[in-house]
C-alpha cells in the first residue's frame, strides 16, 4: 500500500506489534513518528526503519500524561508534518483475579490502554480536521470482545476501545476521518512470552490456524485501515486471531 507523503504516528512502537506496524508503514513510504515510553525504545524502532531505507523519528511520551500527548502532536507536526495516520497501540497489562485486583491495577490499565487512546485521538484530530483527512486505527483485543479470566481491567479497557472507535467514526466521518479497530488474538510478543505451556498448547489446538500469530500477521490489517483504500470503511472491528474465537 502506498503511504508516500503521509505522516503516521504509532504508539507502543518500541517492540512487538507496534514496531512491526511502524516498519511496514515506513516501507510503504510514510514518515513514521515512533512513540514509546523511553527515548531509547523509540530510537531503536527508528533505527530499523532507517536501516530499511525509510523515514522516521522517535519520541518518548507517556500516553497517560495529557500535557505530554499534546506536546507530542505539536512536535510531530513541526518535525514531520501534519499527521494523517494515528495507530493507538500502546498498552499494558496488570493481570490478577478480580478479588485480588487493587484499584491501582484497574486505574493504570484503563488510563494507559483506553484513556491514552482517547488523549491521542483528541490531540491528533485537531490537525486532521483542518486537513479534512485522517485514518485512526485502534488496537483492541479478542479479550475486549469475549472477556478473560484474571483480566477484568484489560478486558474493560479493550472493550472500551470498541465503543470509542464507533463514537469517533460517527463524530468525525463527515470530516474525511475514519476510525477502525483491530482485535488481535494471541500474538507472539513480549506480552505473551510468559504464557504457560499448557495454555499455549490449548490455543494452538483450538485455533484453526494451528498456531499463535505474529506481528507480521497482524500489521497488514492495520495498514488496510490506515490506507486510502479504506475510505468507505469506518467504525469497524477486524479480528485477527487465526480463527481462535470461532
Residues taking part in catalysis:
154
For the chain, strand residue ranges (E) read 7-11, 31-36, 55-60, 83-88, 134-139, 177-184, 237-240
Distance CA 25, CA 222 (A): 9
Q: Environment class of residue 196 by beta-carbon count within 10 Å: exposed (0-12), middle (13-18) or buried (19+)?
A: exposed
Tell me the CB-side half-sphere exposure of residue 142, using CA atoms within 13 A: 16
Distance CA 119, CA 71 (A): 11
Q: Which three cell numbers stand for residue 238?
A: 477486524
Amino acid at each position: 500500500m502506498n503511504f508516500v507523503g503521509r505522516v503516521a504516528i504509532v504508539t507502543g512502537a518500541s517492540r512487538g506489534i507496534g514496531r512491526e506496524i511502524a516498519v511496514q508503514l515506513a516501507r510503504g513510504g510514510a514518515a513514521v513518528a515512533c512513540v514509546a515510553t523511553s527515548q531509547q525504545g523509540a530510537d531503536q524502532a527508528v533505527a530499523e526503519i532507517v536501516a530499511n531505507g525509510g523515514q522516521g523519528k522517535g519520541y518518548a511520551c507517556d500516553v497517560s500524561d495529557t500535557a505530554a500527548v499534546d506536546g507530542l502532536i505539536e512536535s510531530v507536526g513541526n518535525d514531520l508534518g501534519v499527521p494523517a495516520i494515528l495507530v493507538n497501540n500502546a498498552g499494558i497489562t496488570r493481570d490478577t483475579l478480580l478479588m485480588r485486583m487493587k484499584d491501582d491495577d484497574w486505574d493504570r490499565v484503563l488510563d494507559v490502554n483506553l484513556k491514552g487512546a482517547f488523549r491521542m485521538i483528541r490531540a491528533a484530530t485537531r490537525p486532521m480536521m483542518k486537513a479534512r483527512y485522517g485514518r485512526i486505527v485502534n488496537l483492541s483485543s479478542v479479550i475486549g470482545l469475549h472477556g478473560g479470566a484474571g483480566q477484568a481491567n484489560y478486558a474493560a479497557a479493550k472493550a472500551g476501545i470498541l465503543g470509542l472507535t464507533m463514537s469517533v467514526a460517527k463524530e468525525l466521518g463527515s470530516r474525511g476521518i475514519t476510525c477502525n479497530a483491530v482485535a488481535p488474538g494471541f500474538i507472539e510478543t513480549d506480552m505473551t512470552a510468559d504464557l504457560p505451556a499448557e495454555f499455549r498448547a490449548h490455543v494452538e489446538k483450538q485455533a484453526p490456524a494451528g498456531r499463535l500469530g505474529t506481528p507480521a500477521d497482524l500489521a497488514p490489517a492495520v495498514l488496510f485501515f490506515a490506507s486510502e483504500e479504506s475510505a468507505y470503511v469506518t467504525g469497524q472491528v477486524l479480528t485477527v486471531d487465526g480463527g481462535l474465537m470461532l
